[in-house]
Chain A
């Protein structure tokens, strides 16, 4: 983990709910897709955690969904804004378990870490297949970025306005060697139950610190109590208890 000042270089509204932000600074603490960063916002006490969408040495990108006052402010910040950022937080996806044909499943803002993950899986020579789920066609994000990597994602929409009508699990029938998923908890549970193979999921949580000190985001797992921020946010399918 590192603390550094980053400069906002892009802040583009992708849809009514989602913006793509790019921040420039020292990214040396980011090692694995699925790790997250935590931004300090002027006027807010707690930091805001976001999964890294993609990154290189000098910058990272984020998908920010407007859920409250903090994300509302973040979506309006102009390029050039300096932000205090903790980078390299949490345990990301384990790429060594991907196999030849891993399946990547994302829902809503949960599609974010799948871009950086897909890029690195391609680099290590596997052929990832991607399924993305959204409420409707006006909510689609990151499709162009995946096309540029040479991946044609399967898209599902709740209202059938684009791609396959229904949930991401409707598109999961093809065989896969392993799966990686990020999205709302009910989706993650359905993906874990539908897939016959092992996989990893990335969880969202209301966090206090984001680095394991406050025990604010602890969940029960088959391997005992785990902090989403420090022991996760990526967890093995087999460890999930789905208590909710």
Chain B
């Protein structure tokens, strides 16, 4: 194994860097810019049972050291993802991908996962119970331990693939949600999704986003994400994927020291489309500066 490689639920990644869902589409736009096979994996755009337009624009607002989005799960629906997006991606990306799944009922989550279960390029299912930008679904499953467990076990019942549950930071006690998902059979956890936030336009005196609130991401949330990765990784035995504001090789190493087995890069891709390859390229030198031979020796290292 290379010094950057990590293992996630029994699947080896050549490095721990994974573009986060919603910041990389289904891969084609980025594949026009660079060879995306340098990535550890890709977390695909959140997919629902039926096609969704998402929220009306404006969907984007700026923040100090970050941004708010209220895209609202725009996607072509799982059948179009299977028929069109995955075959297109397969031509330019030759590693397993993380299919990100969203829903508005336990049954919908399970049905989307069931349809994705026999897709050979899907290595993992990432169950998004933490989207803050849709109503009556998404985050409402991720803010209650019993609901989080119900989605997790329903999905586990219909798939042989490893199930990653993506957690919301918009809770009082993320550890209780994490433990509920682990107890229901989750194979891994990813955290954090965006932080519910607001911006107001001074000229109009109204919220900038049509959805009123949006999810904050970017460097602004990095220390918050790091704290939650630390707390959750102490409390569960399954692997944790750390994300939230990761923008540099040093951020990746900090996330892994906090307990992350792999790391997703989100908003940084939108500011710089080459963020992921730049981070991957900088990792060996960053490891050298720490005197570390192998990136895996850092995982959870800060816990002492």
**Residues of A participating in the B interface, judged by any CB pair closer than 8 Å:** 1, 3, 40, 44-47, 70, 84, 86, 205-209, 211-220, 225, 230
Which one, A1, A45, A215, contacts B45 given CB within 8 A? A215
Within B15-38, the residues touching A (CB, 8 Å) are 22-25, 29-30, 32-33
Taking Cβ atoms with an 8 Å cutoff, the residues of B that contact A are 22-25, 29-30, 32-33, 45, 53-54, 57-67, 69, 71, 74, 218-219, 267, 269-274
Q: Are B29 and A225 in contact (CB under 8 A)?
A: no
The minimal Cβ–Cβ distance linking A240 to chain B, given in whole angstroms, is 15
Q: A47-B271, A206-B60 are in contact. Are A215 and B54 (CB under 8 A)?
A: yes
In angstroms, Cα B269 to Cα A84, docked, is: 15
Q: Pick the residue among B24, B57, B61 that contacts A213 (CB under 8 A).
A: B24
Q: Decide if B33 touches A206 in the complex (CB within 8 Å).
A: no
Residue from B45, B63, B67, B74 in contact with A208 in the complex, judged by beta carbons closer than 8 Å = B67
Whole-angstrom CA separation of A209 from B19 in the bound complex: 14
Interface SS of chain B: loop
Identify which of A46, A47, A205 gathers the most chain B CB atoms within 10 Å of its CB.
A46
Contact pick for A219, options B57, B62, B267, CB 8 Å? B57
B22 partner, pick from A45, A214, A230, beta carbons under 8 A = A214
Whether B62 pairs with A215 at a CB distance below 8 angstroms is no
Which of these, A213, A217, A219, contacts B29 with CB under 8 Å?
A213
With the chains together, A231 CA to B219 CA distance in Å?
A: 29
| B273 in complex: contacting residue of A206, A209, A219, CB < 8 Å | A209
| Nearest B residue to A229, CB-CB | B29
What's the Cα separation between A188 and B181 when bound, in Å?
A: 51
Partner of B65, one of A45, A86, A225: A45
Can you pick out 22 interface pairs between chain A and chain B where the beta carbons lie within 8 Å of each other? A1-B32, A1-B273, A45-B62, A45-B63, A45-B65, A45-B67, A45-B218, A45-B219, A46-B270, A46-B271, A86-B273, A206-B59, A208-B59, A208-B60, A211-B29, A213-B23, A213-B24, A213-B30, A215-B25, A215-B74, A216-B59, A216-B60
User: Which residues of A sit under 8 angstroms from B270, Cβ to Cβ?
Assistant: 46, 208-209, 213-214, 216
CB distance from A39 to the nearest CB of B (A): 12
Docked-complex contact B273 and A44, CB < 8 angstroms: no
B60, A217: Cβ atoms under 8 Å? yes
Residues of A within 8 A of B24 (CB): 213
Contacts of B219 in A (CB 8 A): 45
**How many angstroms between the C-alpha atoms of A45 and B22 in the bound complex?**
17
Given contacts A45-B66, A225-B53, contact A217 B30 (CB under 8 A): no
- Which residues from A are CB-within-8-Å of B269? 209, 213
- Contact across chains for B67 and A218 when beta carbons are under 8 A apart: no
Alpha-carbon distance A190/B193, docked complex (angstroms): 42
A40 to B247, CA, bound (A): 15
Q: A1-B32, A206-B58, A213-B30 are in contact. Are A218 and B63 (CB under 8 A)?
A: no
Measured CB to CB, the nearest residue on chain A to B59 is A216
Decide if A214 touches B60 in the complex (CB within 8 Å): yes
Q: Among A44, A84, A207, which residue has its beta carbon within 8 angstroms of that of B60?
A: A207
Q: What distance in Å separates the Cβ of A118 from its nearest Cβ neighbour in chain B?
A: 30
